[in-house]
């Protein structure tokens, strides 16, 4: 069986290879090949809005309780929820699900899930999305953004004509990784089945046949990674003629992974009067430019700070070691960490070879470790993740590429190691949304970062961010740990921290900042 090291992996990473592999033209056209790069066969459509069938996208009616809210009450509610709104004509927020006027079949599922009230992003996002407005939502992972766009999508779909043979999806959700796409598809299935809304998940590294059959039968919601969707659009297996509701989930991460050309090719296939919702954990200039290009008269909702943010109850721990000491120190820490009950650990490494080597060494020493990286087949990846979730293999070793889709697993992990130096502040910051997943269940999370630092390098005052410091590293390694305060590593770990075995850092700031750090290493 072909692993996830074939062309699907390259395309799902958004990379263009400089030279062809195994006779493929994906990295550039070979002699005699007319098309080579992803999306080359797709041509930008010339839309005539007068000829397009009309569709409705405003389904929001303000609840009487919301109508009675004064401007002071609105501002006070937004202040308490840390909601910032930019743009004109933004509807008032809702304080409970009934005020959003969702259909009964949606309310029934919400009640079954025991949701008592909307999260901050949902409180402001529901009325905005139901109004048919374009919007940008910026909030940390675990804030409830998936429901913020899926529930209005279900309402939107149920107000459109039924699909006919050959029609593509009405709602398209673009996601950066297969794991996120699968997670969103499960939520879409749970909330859509009561109104017979069909959904499918389209991603690389899995057989195309079942995905093509789903698309040919007709689905109202398609959750896709850009690479595989480009494949199907080029091959004529689906189309976006009926798409009137577009979602870009984790837009910042998709841009970091190099998906921008594919995203633009896909959006060119969708009618320009669509409703577009963009979701991101950060607001860099690249994401801002994408919003300006794709959205019209949009409203921006921000929950919390614009910079990277995650769980504020995280304990940060830093340990300095030589590169040659990493493995020995790691195994020492594993003895201590795994002595606690139900403690799951994720170790991120830089290369596939390092991933396999470390897994073999740990298994040889009796540790229940399994690994996951880009060359693993999809069934093997799914099996390893299942074993980790169930606790049968409580130690998961993964590469950076695999780590991009493991955010939801951080809700299950108590300890996270980064066993190498990040190449940039972007690489370091990419862990932020994953750590944010621990917000959902308040599980303990510890992240250990192996940075490399030259003996001459010193930490500047406590306010210096680790992200900036990481760009100056050399030959030494640093272990950085994150942990939810509600549980802790236990007494021995805290004592080690106090003795200086761990350079302990406790900070209410976002976890990519160092606070109270030693001034000299």
pLDDT digits (tens, 9 = 90+) for 75-98: 999 999 999 999 999 999 999 999
Q: Can you tell me the distance from the alpha carbon of 403 to that of 381, in angstroms, rounded to the nearest whole number? A: 12
pLDDT in tens, 284-329: 889 999 999 999 999 999 998 655 444 444 555 566 677 777 778 7
Angle at 142 between CA 396 and CA 266, to 5 degrees: 90
Element at 57 (helix H, strand E): none
Q: What is the pLDDT of residue 310?
A: 44
How far are the Cα atoms of 150, 196, 415 from residue 112, in angstroms, in the given order?
17, 18, 32
**Interhelix angle for 260-267 vs 226-235, to 10°?**
40
Q: What is the pLDDT of residue 115?
A: 87
- Which domains, and CATH codes, for the chain? 64-303 (3.40.50.300), 314-437+477-499 (3.40.50.300)
Other C-beta atoms closer than 10 Å to the C-beta of 72 total: 8
Helix, strand, coil % (nearest 5) of the chain?
40, 15, 45
Q: What is the pLDDT of residue 224?
A: 97
Q: What are the tokens at 117? A: 């009230």
Q: What is the pLDDT of residue 499?
A: 43
Q: What is the pLDDT of residue 137?
A: 95
Length of the chain: 521
- The answer to whether the beta carbons of residues 456 and 423 sit under 8 Å apart is no
Q: What are the tokens at 485? A: 């305060």
Q: What is the pLDDT of residue 487?
A: 40
Q: What is the pLDDT of residue 488?
A: 41
Closest by CA to 321, choosing from 160, 489, 451, is 451
Residue 392: is it exposed, middle or buried by C-beta count within 10 angstroms (0-12/13-18/19+)?
exposed
| pLDDT less than 70: residues of the chain | 1-36, 305-320, 341, 400-413, 420-521
């Amino acid at each position: 069986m072909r692993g996830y090291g074939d062309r699907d992996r390259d395309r799902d990473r958004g990379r263009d290879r400089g030279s062809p592999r195994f006779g493929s033209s994906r990295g550039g056209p070979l002699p005699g090949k007319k098309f080579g790069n992803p999306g080359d066969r797709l041509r930008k459509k010339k839309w005539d809005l007068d000829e397009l069938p009309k569709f409705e996208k405003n389904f929001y009616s303000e609840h009487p309780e919301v109508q009675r809210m004064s401007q002071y009450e609105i501002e006070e509610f937004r202040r308490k929820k840390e909601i910032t709104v930019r743009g004109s004509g933004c509807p008032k927020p809702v304080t409970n699900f009934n005020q959003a006027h969702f259909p009964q079949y949606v309310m029934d599922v919400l009640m079954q899930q025991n949701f008592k009230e909307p999260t901050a992003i949902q409180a402001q996002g529901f009325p905005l999305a139901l109004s048919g407005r374009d919007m940008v939502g910026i909030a940390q992972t675990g804030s409830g953004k998936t429901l913020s766009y899926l529930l209005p999508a279900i309402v939107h779909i149920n107000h459109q004509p039924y699909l006919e043979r050959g029609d593509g999806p009405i709602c398209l959700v673009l996601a950066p990784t297969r794991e996120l796409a699968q997670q969103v598809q499960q939520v879409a299935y749970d909330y859509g089945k009561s109104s017979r809304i069909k959904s499918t998940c389209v991603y690389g590294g899995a057989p195309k046949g079942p995905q093509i059959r789903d698309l040919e039968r007709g689905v109202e919601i398609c959750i896709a990674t850009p690479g595989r969707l480009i494949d199907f659009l080029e091959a004529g297996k689906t189309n976006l003629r009926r798409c009137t509701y577009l979602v870009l989930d984790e837009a910042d991460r998709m841009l970091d992974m190099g998906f921008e050309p594919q995203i633009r090719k896909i959006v060119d296939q969708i009618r320009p009067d669509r409703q577009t919702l963009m979701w991101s954990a950060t607001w860099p200039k690249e994401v801002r430019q994408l919003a300006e290009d794709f959205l019209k008269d949009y409203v921006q909702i921000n929950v919390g700070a614009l910079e990277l943010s995650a769980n504020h109850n995280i304990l940060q721990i830093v340990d300095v070691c030589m590169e040659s000491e990493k493995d020995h120190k790691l195994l020492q820490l594993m003895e201590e960490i795994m002595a606690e009950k139900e403690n799951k650990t994720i170790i991120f490494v830089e290369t596939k070879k390092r991933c396999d080597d470390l897994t073999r060494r740990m298994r040889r020493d009796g540790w229940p470790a399994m690994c996951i990286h880009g060359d693993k087949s999809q069934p093997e990846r799914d099996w390893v993740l299942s074993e980790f979730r169930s606790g049968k293999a409580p130690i998961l070793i993964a590469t950076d590429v695999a780590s991009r889709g493991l955010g939801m697993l951080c809700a299950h992990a108590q300890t996270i190691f980064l066993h190498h130096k990040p190449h940039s502040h972007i690489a370091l910051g990419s862990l932020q949304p994953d750590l944010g997943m621990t917000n959902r269940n308040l599980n303990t999370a510890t992240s250990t970062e192996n940075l490399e630092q030259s003996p001459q390098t010193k930490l500047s005052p406590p306010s210096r961010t680790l992200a900036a410091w990481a760009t100056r590293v050399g030959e030494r390694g640093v272990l950085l740990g994150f942990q939810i305060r509600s549980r802790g590593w236990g007494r021995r770990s805290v004592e080690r921290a106090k003795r200086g075995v761990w350079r302990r850092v406790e900070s209410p700031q976002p976890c990519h900042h160092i606070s109270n750090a030693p001034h000299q290493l």
